[in-house]
Structure 1
Amino acid sequence: KFYNLDALKDYKWYWRIEPGVRYTCAITYDPFVEMARREKVYGYTVALWEEPKTCPGLFRAVDDYRVDKGIPAGPMWNAMVDASWKPWPLRKLMAWLRAAHTDGNGDGWNLCHYWSNFEIADLDFFRGERYQELFGHLDRSGGFYDERWGDAPVHSLAVHLLLEPGKLHHFSDIGYDHKPFYQCPGNAPGGQLEEEELEKSIFGEGKYSPETEGTIGCRCECNHHRKKRNNRAICLGRLQEPATAAANRMGFMDRFWGRYPYAIGVA
């Protein structure tokens, strides 16, 4: 419960910064000010699939809490769910057996979550009664000890259960590199800060990536040799758009063979 540490008690916002990461674009505004001004609660960059073996019981535990508290399954929650194609009796059997990543109706979690190596969020959300109740329920279930429930899937399921869609923000203009995944939006035409003479003398001209139509970054240094830069992640699409087309979902054979391709966030 980092949000209850004495060192943070006088703070409302936090920005999680991991060792070894690179911010590959200039950040030309104060993210905390903009989050507060726009009444956002949780900000992220990358969304991807969770490793399924680490938390087989987490989704059921969160959904049990949802049902117990009478929280309706709205668009935000449904963005986390893959409706089962199995016949109803088989779905109920799987639910009764508490099959991995399955809720009480036999539907499954799509394993999508926000990569919490980058988070900018309102500490009051985590200190609030609703999140504290949910966390207490998860803690009592024993999954943090019996399995490996990480902060990323817990935070992701919590914000999709307890927040409205407009309270989340994708920082698509921030270049973020935490190997092996990264997003780099590229430099917006006509939207760049002028290079100072001192910069040119130290780094030379052409340090930054070329300006490209349709991009939104400032002074970005994107590695164009790395694969999958700015490919639209399936998980990012699922979490941002609950009505994502079925064609963008994982195929049956991928699930059957346990292939969970990790994807990166999009600028």
Structure 2
Amino acid sequence: MAKTWFITGASKGFGREWAEAALERGDRVAATSRSAAAFDDLVEKYGDAVLPLRLDVADRTAAFEAVRQAVDTFGGLDVVINNAGYGLFGMTEEVTEQQAREQIDVNLFGALWVTQAVLPHLRARGSGHIIQVSSIGGVTSLPGLGLYHASKFALEGFSASLAAEVKGFGIHVTLVEPAGYDTGWAGPSAVRAERLPAYDDFRAAMTGISARRGDPTATRAAILTVVDAEQPPLRIFFGQGPLELITKEYQARLDEWRAWDEVSTVAFGS
């Protein structure tokens, strides 16, 4: 049976790939972006199966209105993908207040507003699948991306709670955690803080992020598998390498917690 999708940030990157994957197999897509004209080619090719919507996800009122338009047009939604987001590069001391707030507004609150907007409709249907596009940066951290990590760690936190809250309504929640992909995330879409000379030596010594990037087109089959699963996962990595990396990361955390457990216990009191 054909599904109806609502995808934010659908003009490029994963959002564009997944919108095309859905349309190619006969599904319908409400595609959002800051410019609805970004979908003119999809409308020309797929006609009424595409609903182009202009949306700044940081605007809560606009998010609710976009969801209302999608529901009114298609009669309901099956898959909701919060994909809109970008990377903020800068050491913690370098990031301005405006940069920090805008990062959280888009990456965290944007997903929250859309999620809140769709939940009444999905509850009424007794079904639905909310997919939050997190990141490997939602489960581990690198220097120079602190506020980006903060936004994705927060997305992971509220989404895990959400999954438990809506399970009884027949609604699934999945956190997709991609590794590095050639989506423009570190290029044109990125925001970069003004550099302080104090960190130049540290930057020069940093290993940095691997230059190898995955092909976003390869994620099409994966996202279709996830949305078609009878029991989809709460969390899934996209890409090669994350599982090995996180296994080491979490083992290191456990080792440190155990090493300090005596102090932890004393802190509880008698």
- Report if TM-score (shorter chain) is over 0.5: no
Calculate the TM-score normalised by the size of structure 2.
0.25
Q: Which has the higher helix share?
A: 2
**Higher normalized contact order (CA 8 Å, seq sep 6+, divided by chain length):** 1
Calculate the TM-score normalised by the size of structure 1.
0.25
